[in-house]
Amino acid sequence: MRADRLPLVIDTDPGVDDAIAILAALAAPALDLRALTVVSGNAALETGVANAGGLLAFAGRDVPVHAGATRPLLRSILRGKYHGPSGMGPLALPPANRAPDPEHAVAFLVRSLREAARPGARRLTICAIGPLTNLALAIAQDPAVVAGIDRIVLMGGGFRTGGNRTPAAEFNILADPHAAAIVLGSGAPIVMAPLDVTQRAMATPARVAKLRALGGRYAVAVADLLDFFDRRDPDRYGSMGGPLHDPCTILYLLQPELFTARSAHVEICHDAGPAFGQTLADWWNLTDREPNAEILVDVDADGFFDRLGALLQAL
């Protein structure tokens, strides 16, 4: 076991692409996945919790699963598209090997971040790949937890691309923009993987075929998930296939040199109207506000899929 493994919590609403991100994290020796905290989003909370437990059983791994928020802070519940009724597309998962941890996800985050903030303790990295409700509640409960965060690497937002659920808004931010505003305003170091980068991590038919050809139950399962996730919208994405959103966070942690990033101050629009859920970046520092996020804007997509394939083979 490597002593320098990065302590990681994944906050998730599994979710087809969440599942691929979780499998990638489980496969990476450099990551020490401490817990999955589940939030309402793509699927209802209890479905997401069952999917998280089922994925861990599928991967033969034992990681605590904590159930979190059942709904967004203020807005009505919004569910994902493209994930199928179970949230796992065509993947039939085994039942979880153990019950979810009785500690609520928000209580777990507050407790473990307080511990991580103590002198000499290792700070936690959080990959947030669903709506940001759990994290916002933890920060609202005790803003000092931010001192225990090494980085939040989140999938959310869309800048030059516009949105994917409204012309303005990306799903994770739109599903709880008030929570996103709390997290972006928290002072925690944040890396954002918005649609601008995830729509470049395209699961083209050739890349999916390459994954499938690797063989092994995980690469084949992910190829099946990606076939299901295919948007067949080449006019929009420049190729067949679907954008692979959530795994960008894990691949960024493992191989940041695959990505191009730019820092900017990001604001979340949460007033009612057509811009509800939009993310606005002050690319040219027009407001004189300090950047609050590093924004991933490009990726070496072939390098990304090669690394993903290698991880799945290693699982």
Catalytic positions are 245
* Residue 95 C-beta: closest distance to ligand BDR, Å: 22
Contact stretch for ligand BDR (CB under 6 A) within 15-23, 29-37, 59-67, 95-103: 15-23
- If one asks whether residue 129 binds ligand BDR (CB under 6 A), the answer comes out as yes
Q: Which is nearer to ligand BDR, 58 or 171 (CB)?
A: 171
* Residue 283 C-beta: closest distance to ligand BDR, Å: 21
- If one asks whether residue 130 binds Ca ion (CB under 5 A), the answer comes out as yes
Q: Which is nearer to ligand BDR, 148 or 198 (CB)?
A: 198
Task: Write each residue from 247 to 286 as x if it is in contact with ligand BDR (CB under 6 A), else as -, in one continuous string.
Answer: ----------------------------------------
Q: Which amino acid is at 271?
A: D
Binding residue for ligand BDR, selected from 80, 100, 177, 309, defined by CB under 6 A = 80
The two structure tokens encoding residue 170:
């990306």
Residue 311 CA from chain centroid, whole number: 17
Contact stretch for Ca ion (CB under 5 A) within 130-138, 176-184, 222-230, 252-260: 130-138
- If one asks whether residue 172 binds ligand BDR (CB under 6 A), the answer comes out as yes
* Residue 248 C-beta: closest distance to ligand BDR, Å: 10
Question: Which of 249, 257, 232, 76 lies closest to 157, judged by CA?
Answer: 249
Do 174 and 272 form a contact (C-beta atoms < 8 A)?
no
Q: Which is nearer to Ca ion, 129 or 225 (CB)?
A: 129
Q: Pairing between strand 124-128 and 6-12?
A: parallel
Do 122 and 7 form a contact (C-beta atoms < 8 A)?
yes
Binding residue for ligand BDR, selected from 108, 159, 171, 305, defined by CB under 6 A = 171
Binding residue for ligand BDR, selected from 246, 248, 264, 292, defined by CB under 6 A = 246
Q: Which is nearer to ligand BDR, 84 or 256 (CB)?
A: 84
* Residue 22 C-beta: closest distance to ligand BDR, Å: 11
Binding residue for Ca ion, selected from 7, 15, 157, 158, defined by CB under 5 A = 15
Task: Write each residue from 42 to 61 as x if it is in contact with ligand BDR (CB under 6 A), else as -, in one continuous string.
Answer: x-------------------
Q: Which amino acid is at 31?
A: L
140 to 159, contacts with ligand BDR by CB under 6 A?
155
- If one asks whether residue 161 binds ligand BDR (CB under 6 A), the answer comes out as no
Binding stretches for Ca ion (CB under 5 A): 15, 18, 129-130, 246
Binding site for ligand BDR (CB under 6 A): 15, 17-18, 42, 80, 129, 155, 164, 170-172, 245-246
